[in-house]
Amino acid sequence: LKRLHSPSAHDVGELAGVSQAAVSRAFTPGASIAEATRKRVVAAAQKLGYRPNLLARSLTMGRSGIVGIVMGNPRNIAFNAALQVLSSRLSKAGKHMLIFTTEDSDRAADVQVEDLLKYRVDALLLMSADLSPKLASRCQDAGIPVFFFNRFGGKTGGIVSVTGDYRNGGRKIAQHLVEQGYHRLAYMAGLKNAPADRERATALSGYLAKQKLPAAQIVTGHYQREGAMAAARAVLSQPLPPDAIFCGTDYMAIATIEVARFEFGLKIGRELGVIGFGDIEQASWRSFDLTTYSQPVSIMVQKVVDLLLEDRPVAHPERIVVPGELKCRKSTQRD
């Protein structure tokens, strides 16, 4: 289908009696143009419904103003909030977002990134998604900075990661559980070898070892509801089940609460402590009242956007850890 062609700078110039270049200047803040002609141009543009073609501008300027975003499994993070904040902060800076999602976050988001590169995005933001080292370095060659959000960038150079504080969170949680008198702990990882899970598990077992307490049993919930429920069932069916379960995400923790409560008839807090990670909206709902360590999504987004807008070339991989805090709620209250 043919597009009705929209007016160009040339058309506007004709109407205003100036050159096409003058029209361009009228729409370029800080360009050298007389106030009177600027006004005349703007009036003409108004009348014609002219909007500068950003594709053309991108082509000449060599920067698209577009940030490429790939979202992995959007369930693990306060996804809506993140997108909202991201969008508002970026558009305030005149940037726009070209978005992809990936079905399974296990595979690297290479296909999506390939497409993104064709649009000459100014930067790449991977939210809970991975990228192969090979493609990462191709981005670097192309001068496109890559940012990981809620994920580790790995060892490839020039990549910035912004994550929650898994280490401190894990330690704080361990401490809290022990203080509450729980002593047979289990850790439900998303994936056993996910860096975030490793850090949490390491912090947990480090604390337990220091207190001369028995190590925590480790299970895997695959970051999904069904997976978490299966893991919870398995753990709770054991002859000597744990008296507290620390889950790598709030989402899995909620599933665990439901299994414990409705399938095993356990009183949450009193008979089984459950603790999550992230402090998503549902954690504070009365039905769950989930103790958790917060992952301050807004701050994390802000951080990544700031770095992104700085537009400073990053030589070495950098990791930025945004601290959270322990939110004590009823799911780990003994009485």
Q: What is the C-alpha to C-alpha distance for residues 331 and 224, in angstroms, rounded to an integer?
A: 20
Judged by CB under 7 A, does residue 1 bind DNA?
no
Q: Which C-beta is closer to its own copies: that of 205 or that of 292?
A: 292
Q: Which does 60 bind (CB under 5 to 8 A by kind): DNA, its own copies, none?
A: DNA
Backbone Cα Rg of the chain: 26
Q: What is the C-alpha to C-alpha distance for residues 81 and 68, in angstroms, rounded to an integer?
A: 18
Q: Which C-beta is closer to its own copies: that of 149 or that of 288?
A: 288
Q: Which C-beta is closer to DNA: that of 21 or that of 209?
A: 21
CB-CB neighbours of 286 under 10 Å: 7
Residues 259-318 that bind DNA (CB under 7 A): none
Q: Which C-beta is closer to its own copies: that of 149 or that of 187?
A: 149
Strands 273-278 and 244-247 turn out to be parallel
Q: Which C-beta is closer to DNA: that of 38 or that of 176?
A: 38
Residues that bind its own copies (CB under 8 A): 1-6, 49, 51-56, 58-59, 62-64, 66, 71, 74-75, 79-80, 83-84, 87-88, 91, 96-101, 103, 112, 114-115, 117-120, 138, 141-143, 254, 258, 261-262, 282, 285-288, 311-313
Number of residues that bind DNA (CB under 7 A): 32
CA distances from 17 to 24, 37, 43, 45 (A): 14, 9, 12, 12
Burial 101-114 (b: 16+ CB within 10 A, else e): ebeebeebbbebbe
Q: Indicate the DSSP class of residue 189.
A: E
Q: Which does 27 bind (CB under 5 to 8 A by kind): DNA, its own copies, none?
A: DNA
In contact, 207 and 175? CB cutoff 8 Å: yes
Give me 78's structure tokens: 């306060």
Query: For residue 160, what are the β-bridge partners?
Result: 147, 318
Residues 45-104 that bind DNA (CB under 7 A): 50-53, 56-57, 59-62
Q: Which residues bind DNA (CB under 7 A)?
A: 5-6, 8-10, 18-22, 24-25, 27-28, 31-38, 50-53, 56-57, 59-62
